[in-house]
């Protein structure tokens, strides 16, 4: 195994690939670029930007990141077919530093039921895929999918073939989150013993049993020097190892991970987490380690007393070290465009031209109603504008609601929606104003479907906090999307989230690609974890 960076743990971020495969997440190109730029600011070593062969949107997303983001290695995922590898290379070629990550399943169940290939065919695929990838770049990663349930000796043979054909990283996916720390670590140790060559060993752990971070860290102790992880732990099913948890464990427990280093600007963790949450529509649980709102909150009097006397009594990390240094009240309704754009710049948000104009208009509108806006509010506004700045089929022009209070009659809502060049008005009634307004939006846009999930949060604390609504929506043909909306008013935030979801459905329909088409699970089609 390579000892070139023996003390350095490479942070391989797969938020935009495995994370983007989470149900309901469907990021546009601008949103992917925004996240990739923030990941570069965070200092990740590798960005897995997507799966170029999966769709035109995926290809363009990866290519856009390869063209626009500097710093990290830009990696594309690819199955072992030569057409996949060629397409992957085409997408990542513009990047300064690029990696092809190719994979094929090695477990009995995947080979038989999904690939319909014999073990010998799988071995031949690996040899040809890695060779093809090496003809493009000397940075090639190979993964035996479903490694933790594969026949160990066979998987080692496959890994040896990959190493012999030039793979420089060997990644061991616990695809279905089946592994436990001691077992996974044992497998990695054994692989290091058995598989000869100059490669970096890597972990990729899913969280089905809540063990993704523990397994990844056990892997590091067993010699892995790359961890594949995602912001907020998003990913297929229960998700991937959470990047912020892996990084802070290595940095906090230096006694345990002696001499090991990660090159992450940890002060950017909180902001990255918020951005990913906003753009994916996946809320962050309040008690989420490191980045959750309560991660540094002390409720019990005895704890508060302890922390006030000496922070280390109940805090093992400094909140400032992860960017959790409270929300500063920064701007209000009298702040001008200059102060606004200057503060965004200080926050590391590079917003210009039309996007700046749109964000400033939104800021003014909210500041008029809320008076003062914190950094977290500003980030939320900008993230909201990034999404709504996309080419949207539907734009909410007017929302007027009545009722909702006790004794005021049946709630109703009237909306005016811009649909292309047309303004359409609809009025509907409902059990509450949110329901009435959603119905009216559906009528005005001619869109069908149902809300499957609905959450209201606040961006900061306090009665004047901005309402932040996350919801999920499913169209009759089974397209599942997430929507997110922000406003001083809960009903308005809900409808903004609803309209953003409808716009996503429309985009998926227009592209002709339905990522949730049950057909996609057919053998031979794209089906990965
Ligand atoms: O979980 C998995 O096996 C994957 C591979 C493609 C690395 O995501
Ligand atoms: Zn995965």
Q: What is the pLDDT along the chain (529 residues), one digit of tens a residue?
A: 554 567 999 999 999 999 998 887 878 888 899 999 999 999 999 999 999 999 998 999 999 999 999 999 999 999 999 999 999 999 999 999 999 999 999 999 999 999 999 999 999 999 999 999 999 999 999 999 999 999 999 999 999 999 999 999 999 999 999 999 999 999 999 999 999 999 999 999 999 999 999 999 999 999 999 999 999 999 999 999 999 999 999 999 999 999 999 999 999 999 999 999 988 888 899 899 999 988 887 666 666 666 677 777 777 899 999 998 765 667 888 888 888 888 888 777 778 888 888 889 889 888 888 667 888 788 888 877 766 656 789 999 999 999 866 777 889 999 999 998 899 999 999 989 999 999 999 999 999 999 988 988 877 777 777 888 888 899 998 888 888 888 888 999 999 999 988 988 888 888 766 544 433 333 333 333 3
Instruction: For domain 390-521, give the CATH superfamily.
Output: Alpha-isopropylmalate synthase LeuA, regulatory domain (3.30.160.270)
Q: By alpha-carbon position, which residue is closest to atom 8 of ligand 1?
A: 529
Centre of ligand 1 to C-alpha 528, Å, is: 6
For a mutational test of ligand 1's pocket, the pick from 51, 76, 173, 229, i.e. the residue with the most ligand atoms closer than 8 A to its C-beta, is: 173
From the CB of 103, is ligand 1 less than 6 Å away? Answer: yes
Beta-ladder partners of 422: 419
Do residues 92 and 136 make contact, with C-beta atoms less than 8 angstroms apart?
Answer: no
Say how far apart CA 282 and CA 305 lie, in whole Å.
34
How far, in Å, are 2, 161, 172, 222, 386 from residue 226 at the CA level?
A: 12, 20, 10, 12, 32
For a mutational test of ligand 1's pocket, the pick from 103, 159, 167, 205, i.e. the residue with the most ligand atoms closer than 8 A to its C-beta, is: 103
From the CB of 142, is ligand 1 less than 6 Å away? Answer: no
Say how far apart CA 229 and CA 167 lie, in whole Å.
20
For a mutational test of ligand 1's pocket, the pick from 78, 115, 175, i.e. the residue with the most ligand atoms closer than 8 A to its C-beta, is: 175
Say how far apart CA 145 and CA 505 lie, in whole Å.
31
Do residues 235 and 281 make contact, with C-beta atoms less than 8 angstroms apart?
Answer: no
From the CB of 110, is ligand 1 less than 6 Å away? Answer: no
From the CB of 244, is ligand 1 less than 6 Å away? Answer: no
Give the SS3 label for residue 383.
helix
- What's the confidence (pLDDT) of residue 270? 93
Say how far apart CA 468 and CA 487 lie, in whole Å.
7
Do residues 62 and 48 make contact, with C-beta atoms less than 8 angstroms apart?
Answer: no
- What's the confidence (pLDDT) of residue 174? 98
Say how far apart CA 153 and CA 34 lie, in whole Å.
42
> How many Cβ atoms sit within 10 Å of the Cβ of residue 523?
10
Domain assignments of the chain as residue spans, ordered by start: 10-280, 297-385, 390-521
Which pair of tokens denotes residue 461?
């604390």
From the CB of 101, is ligand 1 less than 6 Å away? Answer: no
- What's the confidence (pLDDT) of residue 321? 94
From the CB of 18, is ligand 1 less than 6 Å away? Answer: yes
Q: By alpha-carbon position, which residue is closest to atom 4 of ligand 1?
A: 529
The CATH T-level fold of domain 10-280 is: TIM Barrel (3.20.20)
In 146-189, at which residue ranges do the beta strands (DSSP E only) sit? 169-174
* Size (the chain), residues: 529
CA-only gyration radius of the chain, Å: 24
> Which has the closest alpha carbon to 444: 498, 386, 384, 390?
498
Centre of ligand 2 to C-alpha 447, Å, is: 33
Say how far apart CA 144 and CA 169 lie, in whole Å.
12
Do residues 346 and 335 make contact, with C-beta atoms less than 8 angstroms apart?
Answer: no
Say how far apart CA 97 and CA 137 lie, in whole Å.
9
Phi and psi angles of residue 442, each rounded to the nearest 5 degrees, phi first:
-60, -45
Centre of ligand 1 to C-alpha 214, Å, is: 18
Write the DSSP symbol of residue 39. H
> How many Cβ atoms sit within 10 Å of the Cβ of residue 446?
9
Centre of ligand 1 to C-alpha 286, Å, is: 28
- What's the confidence (pLDDT) of residue 524? 34
Centre of ligand 1 to C-alpha 47, Å, is: 15
Do residues 22 and 238 make contact, with C-beta atoms less than 8 angstroms apart?
Answer: no
- What's the confidence (pLDDT) of residue 520? 39
Do residues 95 and 74 make contact, with C-beta atoms less than 8 angstroms apart?
Answer: yes
Do residues 465 and 504 make contact, with C-beta atoms less than 8 angstroms apart?
Answer: no
Centre of ligand 1 to C-alpha 529, Å, is: 5
Centre of ligand 2 to C-alpha 526, Å, is: 13
- What's the confidence (pLDDT) of residue 384? 77
Write the DSSP symbol of residue 231. G
In 146-183, at which residue ranges do the beta strands (DSSP E only) sit? 169-174
Helix H or strand E segment including 49: strand 46-50
Say how far apart CA 31 and CA 500 lie, in whole Å.
13
pTM of the model: 0.83
Do residues 343 and 324 make contact, with C-beta atoms less than 8 angstroms apart?
Answer: no
Which pair of tokens denotes residue 181?
């720390």
From the CB of 28, is ligand 1 less than 6 Å away? Answer: no
From the CB of 445, is ligand 1 less than 6 Å away? Answer: no
Closest ligand 1 atom to the C-alpha of 176? 1
From the CB of 528, is ligand 1 less than 6 Å away? Answer: yes
């Amino acid at each position: 195994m390579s000892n070139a960076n023996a003390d350095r743990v490479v942070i391989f971020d797969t938020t935009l690939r495995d994370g983007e495969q989470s149900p309901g997440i469907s990021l546009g190109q601008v949103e992917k670029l925004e996240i990739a730029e923030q990941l570069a600011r965070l200092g990740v070593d590798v960005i897995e930007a997507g799966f170029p062969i999966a769709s035109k949107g995926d290809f363009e997303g990866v290519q856009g990141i390869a063209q626009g983001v500097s710093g990290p290695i830009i990696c594309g995922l690819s199955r072992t077919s030569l057409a996949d590898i060629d397409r992957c290379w085409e997408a990542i070629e513009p990047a300064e530093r690029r990696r092809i990550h190719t994979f094929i399943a090695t477990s009995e169940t995947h080979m038989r039921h999904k690939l319909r290939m014999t073990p010998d065919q799988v071995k031949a695929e690996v040899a040809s895929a890695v060779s093809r990838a090496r003809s493009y770049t000397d940075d090639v990663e190979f993964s035996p999918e479903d490694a933790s349930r594969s026949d160990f000796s066979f998987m080692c043979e496959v890994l040896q073939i990959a190493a012999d054909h030039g793979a420089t990283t060997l990644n061991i996916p616990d695809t279905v989150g089946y592994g436990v720390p001691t077992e996974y670590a044992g497998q990695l140790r054994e692989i290091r013993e058995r598989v000869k060559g100059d490669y970096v060993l890597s972990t990729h752990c899913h969280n089905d049993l809540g063990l993704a971070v523990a397994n990844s860290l056990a892997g590091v102790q067993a010699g892995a020097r790359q961890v594949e992880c995602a912001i907020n732990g998003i990913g297929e099913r229960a998700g991937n190892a959470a990047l912020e948890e892996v990084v802070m464990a290595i940095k906090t427990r230096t006694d345990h991970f002696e001499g090991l280093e990660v090159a992450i600007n940890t002060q950017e963790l909180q902001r990255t987490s918020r951005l990913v949450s906003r753009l994916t529509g996946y809320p962050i649980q309040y008690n989420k380690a490191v980045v959750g709102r309560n991660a540094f909150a002390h409720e019990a009097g005895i704890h508060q007393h302890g922390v006030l006397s000496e922070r280390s009594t109940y805090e093992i990390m400094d909140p400032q070290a992860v960017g959790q240094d409270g929300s500063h009240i920064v701007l209000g309704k009298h702040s001008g465009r200059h102060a606004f754009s200057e503060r965004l710049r200080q926050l590391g948000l590079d917003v210009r031209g039309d996007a700046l104009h749109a964000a400033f208009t939104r800021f003014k509108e909210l500041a008029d109603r809320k008076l003062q806006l914190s950094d977290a509010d500003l980030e939320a506004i900008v993230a909201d504008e990034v999404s709504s700045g996309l080419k949207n089929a539907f734009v909410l022009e007017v929302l007027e609601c009545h009722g909702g209070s006790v004794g005021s009659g049946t709630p109703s809502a009237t909306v005016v929606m811009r649909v292309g060049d047309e303004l359409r008005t609809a009025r509907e009634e409902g059990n509450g104003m949110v329901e009435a307004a959603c119905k009216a939006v559906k009528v005005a846009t001619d869109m069908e479907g149902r809300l499957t999930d609905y959450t209201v949060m606040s961006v900061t604390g306090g009665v004047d906090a901005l309402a932040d609504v996350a919801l999920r929506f499913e169209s009759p043909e089974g397209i599942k999307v997430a929507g997110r909306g922000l406003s001083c008013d809960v009903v308005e935030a809900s409808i903004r989230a609803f309209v953003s979801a409808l716009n996503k459905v429309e985009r998926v329909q227009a592209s002709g690609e339905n990522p949730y088409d049950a057909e996609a699970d057919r053998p031979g089609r794209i089906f990965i974890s």
